[in-house]
Amino acid sequence: MIERLVATLSERYRLEPAARSRGSADVAKATFDLRECRISNGIPAAARSGRHFSDISRAAAFATSMALFTIILMIAACSDAAPDHGADSAAVAAANADSIARSAATNAATLRDSAQATLATLLDDPASAVFDSVVVIQPPPVDGRSPAPAVCGRIGGKPGIGGRSTPTRFVYQGRWTVFVEEAGNQAEFAAVWAKMCDGAGGTVLLGG
């Protein structure tokens, strides 16, 4: 296409063969530059100088036509190029995921502290409370809905809950949802523990 354009313009302005060759090279270079949507050295050399042609007026007309053609090509190429936001979208998604993870970790720590403070009040001497195996878990979804996170662990004291000398398992979801293992509820507690603390598909938010 470039060669046909140069030939047509050269015949119209009666240019010498050498000038045609230089014009083709200049447009070819401009076409290469427009692939990156940039102008190299302004406009083609043939458009900047008429000393390549024997007749100054014909050279100026030819150079003007070539410059306009180059500008039109560059506008068309750059306007058709749609920006690729793939990398930006990936970066935003990663930043959002990181923000959610940090928020979940902060909330998990707050829930753990609340659980320990609440469980300690069940002891005769709250200051003697000792916790172990404490984890904060997000249980798996049930019927498409996610249960509240749970704090699972064991508490001991001097003495322990109910005067025990061994640690007692507990499951905590809030100040009004506290499960403590006792002699009379072992089967029920085991079911809650399996669902909240040992259930497949749960996610450990803190501890473990």
pLDDT in tens, 36-74: 454 444 444 444 444 444 454 555 455 555 555 555 555
Is 93 within the bounds of a domain?
Answer: no
- Tell me: the pLDDT tens digits for 115-124? 999 999 999 9
Distances (CA, A) of 148 to 128, 138, 187: 29, 7, 22
Is 98 within the bounds of a domain?
Answer: no
Q: Are residues 68 and 110 in the same domain?
A: no
Strand order of the β-sheet with 177-180 is 177-180, 168-174, 150-156, 130-138, 203-207
Q: Is the pLDDT of residue 4 over 80?
A: no
More confident residue, 148 or 83: 148
Whole-number Å distance between alpha carbons of 10 and 87: 46
Is 96 within the bounds of a domain?
Answer: no
* Segment 83-109 mean pLDDT: 73
Q: Are residues 119 and 200 in the same domain?
A: yes
- Beta-carbon contacts of 18 under 8 Å, excluding residues fewer than 6 positions away, are 52
Q: How many structural domains comprise the chain?
A: 2
Q: Are residues 76 and 113 in the same domain?
A: no
Q: Are residues 110 and 202 in the same domain?
A: yes
Q: Are residues 133 and 188 in the same domain?
A: yes
pLDDT band at 154 (very low <50, low <70, confident <90, very high): very high
User: Could you say which of 65, 80, 95 is where a domain stops?
Assistant: 80
**Residue 74 burial (CB count, 10 A):** 18
**pLDDT of amino acid 27:** 46
Is 201 within the bounds of a domain?
Answer: yes
Q: Are residues 162 and 109 in the same domain?
A: yes
Q: Are residues 160 and 66 in the same domain?
A: no
User: Could you say which of 80, 96, 131 is where a domain stops?
Assistant: 80
Supply the range of the domain harboring residue 41.
Answer: 2-80
- Tell me: the pLDDT tens digits for 65-92? 555 555 555 555 555 555 566 778 877 7
